[in-house]
Structures are given as structure tokens and as C-alpha cells.
Structure 1
Amino acid sequence: MNYRELVNNGTPLLDVRSDAEFNEGHIEGAVNIPVNDVQRRMDEVKKLGSPLIVCCLSGGRAGVAKALIEAAGVKEVYNAGGWESLL
């Protein structure tokens, strides 16, 4: 799966790094909801739509967020790993 191409074509990107990490650099247009806030802010996450691409620094937190989002009923969620791989 070419996540960079999906993002470039408008697929929503959820960056689950901390606010501080996100502010140090991120993909233009990415939405930042730290992994620890994903469950509490699930309504916002669901509004992003499906498919949804999730990223973080290396893929670990994105994997946790992906599982939470899928458990909440979003069917098509992808872990793109580290955000820098999408540049």
C-alpha cells in the first residue's frame, strides 16, 4: 500500500504523536490527536472518515490508535508507521 500516494490524494491523516512532537514537524494537513486522547476524542476521529491513515514517530503508537479506532467501528484504518516516511 502506498500511504504517501493516499495522503497526497486526500485520504485523511491522523498523527498520534504528542502535541510537542507534532509542533516540531508534521505533514501538512495532518490532524493531531495524541494516542492518549484517541478514545476520549473518538467522535473527532470518526468525523475524519474512512479510509484513515494513522502515523506517529515509528509506528508503535499508530498501531495502538489503529486498534482503538477499529474497535470503535471504523473499518478501514491503516498504520503508516513513522510520519517522516510520508514526506
Structure 2
Amino acid sequence: MTLEKIIKETNCTIVDVRSHEEFMGGHVANSINIPLQTIPARIEELKGLNTPVVLCCASGNRSGQAQYFLSQHGLDCHNGGSWLEVNYYQSK
């Protein structure tokens, strides 16, 4: 399933892993902010979210790191790359 289909056709959760300040400067509607450095401490919270989880950040680097870590802990998650791209797919 493509990222666009996951965003449009599933009850996914969009998690933005940028800093709080970056998130407040603009983010995907209805996304939640869990900064990358807090992911390990919030693993149980993330496991309780609707899956799949689509992770995004500014470029895809931090969301890729988060996706790798979370997939190692059994979470169904996808690297959405830039929040702008995820926002575009959600708004189509």
C-alpha cells in the first residue's frame, strides 16, 4: 500500500517528530507532536495509538530514525518524510 493510500484509506495516526517549536510553526492537521528524542520514553503511548502510524518531520531524516526504532519494537509504522508531503496527501 502506498503512503498516500495509508493516509487516505486507513485510520492512521500521524506523528510529527520535529521539536515543539518547529511543530508550532506549521504541521499536518490532526497530527500529534512527539519529538524524536522523547520517542523511547513514550513507546507505550505510541503503542496505544491507532495504527498504522505515519511519522513525519522536516525532511524525512528524523522520521526515518523514529520509524526504524519503532519498527524494532513491533509498531506498524511508516516514514512519511516531510510533513509538507504528508499534509499534501491528507488534503487531496
Interval of TM-score (by shorter of Structure 1 and Structure 2): 0.7 to 0.9
TM-score normalised by the chain length of structure 1: 0.88
Corresponding residue of 2:61 = 60
Q: 1:24-43 counterparts in 2 under 5 A?
A: 24-43=25-44
Residue 18 of structure 1 aligns to which amino acid in structure 2? S
Secondary structure of the 1:78 match is strand
RMSD, matched Cα = 1.4
3-state SS of 2:56 partner: strand
- 1:1-87 superposed matches below 5 A: 1-9=1-9, 10-74=11-75, 76-86=76-86, 87=88
Q: Which has the higher helix share?
A: 2
- SS at structure 2 position matched to 1:49: coil
Shift of 1:44: 1.2
TM-score by length of 2: 0.83
- The amino acid of 2:67's aligned partner reads K
Q: Deviations over 1:17-54 (max 9, x none)?
A: 00000000001110110000000011111111321111
Indicate the SS of the match to 2:80: strand
Distance 1:48 1:56, change over 3 A: same
Instruction: Structure 2 unaligned segments of length 5 or more: list them.
Output: none
